[in-house]
Amino acid sequence: MRILITNDDGIHAPGLEVMRRIAAKLSDDVWVCAPETDQSGLAHSLTLSEPLRLRKVDENVFALKGTPTDCVIMGIRELMDTPPNLVLSGVNSGQNIGDDVSYSGTVAGAMEGALLGIKAIAVSQAYSWDDGHRSIPWETVETRGPDVIRRLIDSDFPNRTLVNVNFPNCGPDDIEGEEITRMGSFSHGLFMEKRHDGRGFPYYWLRFGRDRSERREGTDITALANRRISITPLKLDLTDEAFGESLAERFGED
């Protein structure tokens, strides 16, 4: 089995090394094409207004000055002589659940794999803050990840469908099992924080300020809160069929 790895945290991210170790337990034919710098929050974006600079880091390991989507296309279309059987995106530092899936570069890397007809899995590890620093239990995803991915590989993925896997913020022995989930929803918590530079000119930072989300059974949010591994199948067809049927009554032919 041939595996292509990407991420959105960048080529130097510790989660990428974790993913490489996970992949090594699954195959001896592993390739990496990851962004040169952090691309978090860029979702399924392409680099269209500047060239893509490629740097070889090691054997079958490349850094690209681009987005996760760019990296998957580069890996499959340019670097590899035959396509991979699996695209793994991550391991992301932090969960990618609920509405945040729409912003996630990690999920977008897997999304591009699915668009290219390849099994694709996004993997993220939840964490906590400890005295202003991230406390990330990488041992959880590294211990439990290979088995989850193996079972997913043995499944038949529908066309244009990917899987988003999130590991809870706890040790591997504290996991309460796995759960097939759906996307939950958060209150919108992005705000503009206005600041001023040394000359008094304004500039802005995006600030997160969500309220505690409602925990609904069956969602990725609730699964992580219950220390369960969340496994969410995502399809690329965003069509709201029920709403479409309602609109057809208003716009249908006379």
pLDDT in tens, 137-176: 999 999 999 999 999 999 999 999 999 999 999 999 999 9
- Count of CB atoms within 10 A of residue 160's CB? 14
Over residues 93-120, mean pLDDT:
97
- Residue 154 belongs to some domain of the structure: yes
Domain count along the chain: 1
> In which residue are the tokens 């991230």 written?
134
- Residue 31 belongs to some domain of the structure: yes
Tell me which residue range forms the domain holding 99.
2-185+216-238
Structure tokens at 33: 């094409």
Q: How far is CA 141 from CA 25, 106, 203, 251, in A?
A: 13, 15, 38, 49
Report the pLDDT value the prediction gives residue 70, as an integer from 0 to 100.
98
Over residues 87-104, mean pLDDT:
96
Which helix (H) or strand (E) element contains residue 113? helix 105-115
- pTM of the full predicted structure? 0.93
- Residue 56 belongs to some domain of the structure: yes
CATH number of the domain within which 20 lies? 3.40.1210.10
**pLDDT over threshold 80, residue 48:** yes
